[in-house]
Structure formats: structure tokens, C-alpha cells
Amino acid sequence: MAACRSKVSSVFRPNLFKDKVAIVTGGGTGIGKAIALELLYLGCKVMIASRKMDRLQKAAKEMKTLIDSQGRGSASLKHVECNIRKEEQVQHLISHTISEFGQLDFLVNNGGGQFPSPAEGISLKGWNAVIETNLTGTFLCCREAYTQWMKDHGGVIVNIIADMWRGFPLMSHTGAARSAVDNLTKSLAIEWAEDGVRVNAVAPGSSIYSETAADNYGDTDIFKRVLPNIPAKRLGLTEEVSGAVCFLLSPAASYISGETVKVDAGGSLYPSWTWNIDDHKKSVPYSWETDDNGSHTPPKSKL
């Protein structure tokens, strides 16, 4: 079990995001909570959203206490229950945030969810649930943030995706959805450029440790299995993801749009750890040679 955080910090200058307003979906736990905390520390007003009100309330109380205890002023943090798969709830999330804070400068689409399973074991219901949460939910949040505010005022969107660059064995549903969000990020960056909207993505590696992720997967050894294939030879922190997000939201990234930043210590360049292929002789090489019946005859292996 990870210890409760006793302080918040940031490499960015104090009050970098003063007078700015951000929405962080999935902001009550894990990576989303780390992002919300750093934004608050930097003076941003933050709305966190999630399907589970009890988690939101608990997280909001913890974050306010942390920020207030460090003399950063009173944290301007609110929360609203929202299932990002539901169009009307997403519309309410955006309109409620604008009503509460008077504007919307940043949207961080961190909300998502998946479960480990071989592709053959994923039911249509399970497939649709993951696609709707990770892809459709992200799209709805982007669209509503744009149409309700950013089309007329500009803004910055950061989509949190995943390490799916070499496929995602045992997570094919989320791999497909997150890959689609990577493409959606690029499309929106071009479509909305003339309105002063930047859209980027951050892809945390599978080695980013969060207590919530470990609990959700129900596998206490999952991070131990990842570690040998991480070039840094250590697990990543949720704060290391939030730092990348804050950079993309900041003026330092004002000329960056349509990009995805990987936060994985180079892990996406290292061998896959989730799937092992046993020795087999089922892969038949193509050959122009045919037998008398017109069937292909593969050459004999020299091994």
C-alpha cells in the first residue's frame, strides 16, 4: 500500500496557472488525482469528475487539506459526478464548470477504464464498455468543451492514453480505443487550430505505479513483472505524468499541438512483457513452388 502524500510540489513556477480553470476527468484517483493536485498547487481552479461520488468527495477533502497546509492559499477545487459515456452528463459537466468558475481553459481527459483479458474472452458488452469509456467518452468531453467554450475563447486539451505502440496483448479493447484517441488528438488539433485550441496527448507507460491501478487489476505482481523491461529499472510515479501534462498546458508548449508525449522511461522501445509466444510450426512461409495438385509446397527449414 502506498503511503498518503504529505506534501505537493512542482518544477514549475508558483502561480503558473493562476486565474485558469481546468477539468480533470477521473480526477479522484491515481494519475488524475496527481494532475489535479499539481494544477491546484500552481494556482489553477479545478473541477474533478468521476462516476463515483464517494471517491470524489474523499479525494477533494484530501487535496484541499494538502494544498491549504502548504500555505498555497485556499484550494479552489470542486467536484461533480459524471459518467463520460453519457452524453447528457458530459454536457452537464462542461456547463456546470463554466457556471461555477466562469470559464474553461484546460481539459484533461484522464477518465477511462479497462480489464485484462485475452481477446477471445472479451464479450461484446465488455468490448463496448471499454470503447465507450476510453474513446467515446474522450470524444464527448472534447466536443462539449469545444462547442460550449473553447470555440470562442481558445483553450488546451490533453488526452491521457496508454502504451499501445506495439499492440496491447491482454488489453486489446483499450489498445484499440487508446490508439483511436491518439488519432483523434491529431485530427482535432488541425480542425480546431484556427480557434486557438491546442490538443495533445500523454501516454503513460505500463510501469507508472498507482495503488488504484494495482487494485483494479486484482494482480499484486503486475508491476513486478513490468520492472525488468523498464530501461530506468524503476517504476514511474503519477507525479511524473502530471509534470508532462502541466508542461503541455503551459505557455512553454504554445507551439506544440497534435503530439503524444510518452512517459515511460523508454519502455515502449523495449521487448513486450505481456505476452509470450511458445515455439510452434504453424507459420507456413509463402512459396511460388506448387505440387501437381496446384497446392503450395513450403520449403524445408534449414534449422
70 grid coordinates: 502548504
- For residue 130, give every residue at least 6 positions away whose Cβ sits within 8 Å of its Cβ, in sequence order, or none: 113, 114, 115, 173, 174, 177
Q: What is the pLDDT of residue 280?
A: 74
Q: What type of residue sits at position 49?
A: A
Mark 73-110 as b/e (b = at least 16 C-beta within 10 Å).
eebbbbbbbbbbbeeebbbbbbebbbeebeebbbbbbb
In the chain, the DSSP E strands lie at 21-25, 45-50, 77-81, 106-109, 155-160, 197-204, 260-263
In the predicted structure, residue 274 carries a pLDDT above the cut 90: no
Average pLDDT, the chain: 89
Report yes or no: 109 and 248 within 8 Å, Cβ to Cβ.
no
Element (H, E) at 30: helix 30-41
Each residue's pLDDT tens digit, 115-171: 989 999 999 999 999 999 999 999 999 999 999 999 999 999 999 999 999 899 999
pLDDT digits (tens, 9 = 90+) for 53-105: 999 999 999 999 999 888 776 789 999 999 999 999 999 999 999 999 999 99
DSSP bridge partners of 57: none
Tens-digit pLDDT profile for residues 285-296:
666 555 556 555
Residue 175 burial (C-beta neighbours within 10 Å; 0-12, 13-18, 19+):
buried
CA dihedral of residues 34, 85, 218, 228 (deg, nearest 10) = -60
Cα separation of 175 and 45, whole Å? 32
Q: Count other C-beta atoms under 10 Å from residue 127's C-beta.
A: 16
Q: How confident is the model at residue 2 (pLDDT cuts 50, 70, 90)?
A: very low
The confidence score (pLDDT) of residue 286 equals: 66
Q: Which one has a higher pLDDT value, 53 or 219?
A: 53
One-character DSSP codes across 147-201 = IIIIHHH-EEEEEE----BTB-TTBHHHHHHHHHHHHHHHHHHHHTGGGTEEEEE
* Confidence category of residue 219, pLDDT binned at 50, 70, 90: low
Dihedral of the alpha carbons of 228, 231, 233, 235, in degrees to the nearest 10:
-90
- Tell whether the torsion through CA atoms of 215, 218, 223 and 229 is positive or negative: negative
CA 226, distance to chain mean position in Å, is 18
Residue 217 — pLDDT band, cuts 50, 70, 90? low
CA-only gyration radius of the chain, Å: 22
CB 110 within 8 A of CB 35: yes
Exposed/middle/buried for residue 222 (C-beta within 10 Å: 0-12, 13-18, 19+): middle
Which region among 7-16, 200-209, 252-261, 267-276 has the lowest average model confidence (pLDDT)?
A: 267-276
pLDDT in tens, 56-69: 999 999 999 999 88
pLDDT for the residue 271? 75
In the predicted structure, residue 1 carries a pLDDT above the cut 70: no
Residue for cell digits 491515481? 30
What are the chain's domains?
21-269 (3.40.50.720)
Read off the pLDDT of residues 180-204 as tens digits, 9 standing for 90 and up: 999 999 999 999 999 999 999 999 9
The torsion angles phi and psi of 4, rounded to 5 degrees, stand at -65, 140
Give the neighbor-by-neighbor strand order of the sheet with 21-25.
77-81, 45-50, 21-25, 106-109, 155-160, 197-204, 260-263
Q: Is the pLDDT of residue 210 over 90?
A: no
Asked if 70 and 8 touch (Cβ cutoff 8 Å), the reply is: yes
Name the band, by pLDDT with cuts 50, 70 and 90, for residue 220.
Answer: low
Calculate what percentage of the chain has a pLDDT beyond 90: 71
Taking the model in full, what pTM does it have? 0.89
